[in-house]
Every structure is written in structure tokens, then in C-alpha cells.
Structure 1
Amino acid sequence: MRPQRPVRVGVMGCAEFALRRMLPAMADSPDIELAAVASRRPATAREVAARFGGSPVRDYERLLDFPDLDAVYIPLPNALHAEWVLRALDAGHHVLAEKPLTTRAGLTREAVRRAEGRGLALVENFLFVHHPQHARVRRLLQDEIGELRQMSAVFAIPPRPADDIRHRPDLGGGALLDVGVYPLRAAQHFLGTGLTVVGAALRQGPTGVDVEGSVLLRRADGVCAQLSFGMEHAYTSRYELWGSAGRITVNRAFTPPADQRPDVTVERDGAVRGIALPAADQCAAAVAAFAAAVRDPESCRAAAQRSADLARLTDDVRAAAAEDARHITAAVVPQGPGG
């Protein structure tokens, strides 16, 4: 059998995360050929293409017409995802887009519909779900801690510079879409889809984007997930699964370095033990998984539907937080002169 040729990928935009993590992984992958790099700054496209491979392309529109392109990788600001995800699908390209796939549930559902209708792979780039530690945790969940009673998850990062795009509402900034989607996706991973938002709170920063939040989710059987996130905090990346007989804790859960052994502990019957797991490169695993999805788009249909459900959850979090804010405002009754 002849080996399959690498998937030819065009890169749409030169975001810092793409340069630091994804493009090195793609350049090192035997499954991927970096065919083109597009930027609206020609010098940037030339510089990045010279560094990682492929041809520089002057703008995003021209990338969609680049010859013999199989797929497009989109690391653009959040607010631009929907337009270019849909345009790439309409041009017949498979799509890997950074999270969130789009900023609204209706747009994500439309992207999933178009991908399915055209037989194309549509993948939201959550790296952590490709790390093997979480599959091992699922097995531990069944074998070690009894029936699952509750989950908690936290992801928070230190403050970014004032001009960082995370602070720009016009570009889809804010903690919910930048870091909050990680605990939400982890809750999906362990509790399944169809979760209900019981309550939520978001705090806005001076530019109008949310800078931290908390969410309570509930599964139909009553199991709840308590989630927190923020971008003005000491770095925290952790989840815990509490069961009827024990507890599993995973530290550095969402962004472990490729050379770091997972930090997984199990508490049961008064004893605490660490679980020895090998280090793994979740970025390389995500790149390999996308190449496999391009070769068999049907294999990623369930993941695309989870992305649609996640977008529904983020919309519901916004709605619940807005309702919470209205209740707080209504409860603050100005006092008269007599106090």
C-alpha cells in the first residue's frame, strides 16, 4: 500500500500562539505539509514562511484560492473566526480553527452544518483533549472513586498587557472565550453534552470584556460541575473529580509542557497516591489528529457536535450572568436621606 501524502495546510494569520506552538508542530509532523502562510502584512508572511515552510500569501482571500490546498488553519482573533471558517468551508477546505470555533452558538451550528453537508472536517483546536492523561483519568474514574458526585475545574492566567487582544471587545476578547471554555470543555469531557447552566457570574474589566467568571453546571442526574476562570490571576490549571469513594486531582491539566510528566493524584480511604504517567506532547497529538480527521471527516463528526454544544453553553453562561447582574442591580435600592 502506498503511503498517504501529507495534508497540505494553508495558515491564515500569524498569531503568537500559532508561531509558538502550532506551526513548529506542523513543520515537524510527517502528516502535514505547510503549503502557504497568509498575512495582511506581506513582510510577516514572508518571514513566517521562510521559518516554517510554504509560500507567503498576501491576504486571506488569496489563501483560499491557493492551488492544491487541502485544509486551512485559522488562528485569527475570535471575532474573525466565523467569517473565515465559513468561507474556507465554502471554498472546499477542511478547517482547523483555534478555540472558540466562533463566538456564538448559531454561527457554530451553521459551520458544523456546512462541514457535514460538504463532507469536510471541522475541528476546534483544544489541545488538552489530546493528552493521554485524560483518557487515563476516565479509567481511574470508573475503577477508583466510585460513582461520580461532583466536578470542579479552574483555569486562570496572569494579567496581559493593556493592548493585548484579550482586552478588545471588538475582537471577541474576554476571559470566557479565552480561558473559560477550557473548564467548560473539561466538564463536557467527563460529564457529557447537554449540560444545563444553573448559574453564572462574570466580572467586567475597564475595557468592557469579562475578566473573570464562575459557572455552575448540572447534568440531568444531578451531578454538578463548579467552574472558575480568569485572566487577572495567579496561574492555575486544575480539575478535580469527586466520587462516592474517592477523589482524583489533575494539576497543570490544560497546558502541560511536552516534557512534563502529568500530575495526577488519587485520594481514597485516607491514602493519597500519585499516578505515574509519561510525558506527552499534546500539540503534536492534536496535529496528528487533525490530519487523521482530514483523511476521514466522518471520524470528527461527534467532536464537531460537541463544539456546537460548547458554543451553546457559552451563550447560556452569558445569559445567566446577565440575569444575575440584573438581579443584583435590582436589589440595590438607593437609600433616602435618613439612611
Structure 2
Amino acid sequence: MPKSTIDPNGPRLRFGVLGCGDIAWRNTVPAIQRCGAEVVVFASRSGDRARRFADRFGGAAVEGYERLLARTDVDAVYVALPTGLHHTWARRALESGRHVLAEKPLTATLDEAADLVRLAAQRGRWLAENFTFPYHSQHTAVQKVIADGEIGRPRVYEIVFGIPARPDGDIRNDPELGGGALLDLGVYTARAIRLMCEPADGAGLEVAGATLNIDPALGVDVAGSALLGLPGGATGHLSFGFGLAYRSAYAVWGSEGRVSLQRAFTPPASLRPVLRLERQDRVEERTLPADDQHANVVAAFVRAAVDGAPFGPQGESLLRQAALVQRIRGTAKPSFA
């Protein structure tokens, strides 16, 4: 389980940002700065959008992604583009000798992920997928409850992530840009079930069945679910979708109790999460420390890149995630909205 890793006095890395969207503005760029790294340039198809970022965060603004890669003052590239563009631009960044932190999911397909993993290994560069929630300490608290036997033997893992419907024109409704609920939200639930299977990292997970609800007008899946078999006979139930009241939660149901989190994926750094433990004779809520998962993941990326951490296990983890998502899609029976 990753631990908090913020070290303002730690090694510095010079970032270039490809894509000036909402997640970069709200979360990742401020996190880069909080953990002591530096953003030296923003690139967007729109010069005005890149300048807006530069005005707020400092650094230069360029129009066009190639202009960023042509610079000599960038050590790492944060790819904040739509999913369908991740493979192209992460590949070009790796080819240019940069470390790459890409928004989740890393790519739209397993073949694309495998290509990037091979290239990162060949070039000796660090490649990471910007899942931040595994770097929040609340999950360590859940693992301790399980390890201490407080819920008995885990038997059922229930994981959900839903958000309201996306507005017209949203990139998540565009199949050409890698849209759809599986790649936007379902990937979180897949990553969470793997996190719960540590140290096996999801090895041995089997997709027993899945559904994807397709909106014919959009051409993308807007909701879905999957049933997974875990080693030892436990099951995992994953549910995700657009057009839902916001929910970001998971629970582990064991032979003697149940433990759950209600802000599993997107807790702000100021939030003190609440772990709920239910047993036959009591219900207990434990308020946990606040944690900054966005800065933690960036700090871990910086340290791995600067220290030259072994890439083999990281590459295997990236491929395991992509393979699980692909198995869910390949197993899914479509339904139509």
C-alpha cells in the first residue's frame, strides 16, 4: 500500500504539461507545485488556454504539443489529454527522452499500454498512470482492519463510482477521444479491486460477467457493472456510470463484519475520511487523518524518476490494470439506453 510521500525538500523535476483541462487546473498542477516540483511550460491546441495556466501557475505557454517536446528544459511530461490521445503523445514524450505521468487510464487498449511499457523500459524512463486514490492513507486503515481480523474472512468486495450525466460536447461522450463510463469511471473500480488484493496486485482475478449500457446516440457506454472472482473464492462487484447521483465508495463484507469508505476515490486534501465498521454487536465510525493523495502520487513519481527505481514491477502493474479493463469490456454484454 503506498504511503504519504510529500517531501518539499526532496528532488526536483521540471514538468511540461500537455493539455490544459479541468483536472490539471484543479488537482494535478497545484499538486506538482505543493510537492516541490516545477512546471516550466504548458502546451495546448489553444494558445489562450495555455496562457491562462501560465498566468496562474507560472512558466511558459506554447501552442501545439510538439513545441513543448522540442524544448530542452523539460524532464517529465504530464499528459492531461483525452484518453484517446494518451498513447500518441505519451509515446512521443518517451521517444524524446522524458518521463511520463499520464492521466488515467494510461491508454484506451491493452496493446497501446504494452507498447508504452516496452518503450519506457527500453529508454530507461519512468511511466506512471495518475491514479491518486491508492496514495491516500485511508486505504491503509481499511487494510489494517482486515489484517487484524475485525471483519473475519473477506468474502465480498463492493465498489461503486457514479457521477451525474455529462453535458453535451463533453469529451467523455466522444468515442473518438476514448470516451465512455468504463474508461472514465470503471477503471477506478478495477484499480480498487486490485488494490484490495495486495500484495498479489490483482493476480488471479477472473471476470465472471459484465454489462455495458450503450447510448446509441453517443456511441459510448454510459454505465456498466462487472462480477469478478477472486483467489480464495471471494467475489468482487463493480458498478459505475454517468447519470447517477455522485457516489465514490467501497465496502468489504466479511464473515464477521463489514468495513466501508464513502469517499474512496476523490477526497479533498482537507477531508478527514470516516471508516465505518459494522459487526453483529456494534457499529463504529472512525475518523481518519486528512491526506493529500494528489501531492503524494506526484511526489512518488518524482522520486521514482529521479532515483531510477526499477521499472519492471511498475510496468507489470500497468499492464495488469489495462488487461483487467480489457477483459471487462470483452466479457460485457451490451444493453442500450
Q: Same fold (TM over 0.5)?
A: yes
1:162-185 C-alpha deviation (Å, 9 max, x unpaired): 111111111110000001111110
Aligned-partner Cα distance in 1 for 2:250–2:54:
38
Q: CA deviation at 1:221?
A: 2.4
* 1:43 aligned onto 2:48: yes
Aligned to 1:7: 13
Q: CA deviation at 1:299?
A: 5.1
Aligned to 2:329: 318
What is the SS of the residue equivalent to 2:291? coil
Aligned to 1:23: 29
Residue among 264, 269, 294 paired with 2:275: 264
Q: CA deviation at 1:127?
A: 1.1
For residues 88-237 of structure 1, what are the structure 2 equivalents within 5 Å? Answer: 88-143=93-148, 144-191=150-197, 192-194=201-203, 195-205=205-215, 206-237=217-248
Aligned to 1:335: none
Q: CA deviation at 1:220?
A: 3.2
Aligned to 2:261: 250
Structure having the higher Rg: 1
Residue among 58, 64, 77 paired with 2:82: 77
Q: CA deviation at 1:157?
A: 0.2
Q: CA deviation at 1:29?
A: 2.7
Letter in 1 for 2:183: L
Aligned-partner Cα distance in 2 for 1:142–1:170:
44
Residues 239 and 251, structure 1, Cα contact 8 Å, conserved in 2: yes
Aligned-partner Cα distance in 1 for 2:10–2:208:
47
What is the SS of the residue equivalent to 1:278? coil
Letter in 1 for 2:48: A
1:285-324 C-alpha deviation (Å, 9 max, x unpaired): 1221111121134256434322211111111111111xx3
Residues 100 and 128, structure 2, Cα contact 8 Å, conserved in 1: yes
Residues 27 and 34, structure 1, Cα contact 8 Å, conserved in 2: yes
What is the SS of the residue equivalent to 1:298? coil
Residues 27 and 53, structure 1, Cα contact 8 Å, conserved in 2: no
Residue among 280, 300, 320 paired with 1:289: 300
The structure with higher relative contact order (CA 8 Å, sep 6+) is 2
Unaligned runs of 5+ in 2: 1-8
Count residues with an aligned counterpart. 322
Unaligned runs of 5+ in 1: 330-339
Q: CA deviation at 1:145?
A: 1.6
Aligned-partner Cα distance in 2 for 1:297–1:248:
37
Q: CA deviation at 1:136?
A: 1.5
Aligned-partner Cα distance in 1 for 2:225–2:308:
35
Q: TM-score, normalised by structure 2?
A: 0.91
Aligned-partner Cα distance in 2 for 1:4–1:264:
31
For the aligned residue pairs, the C-alpha RMSD in angstroms reads: 1.6
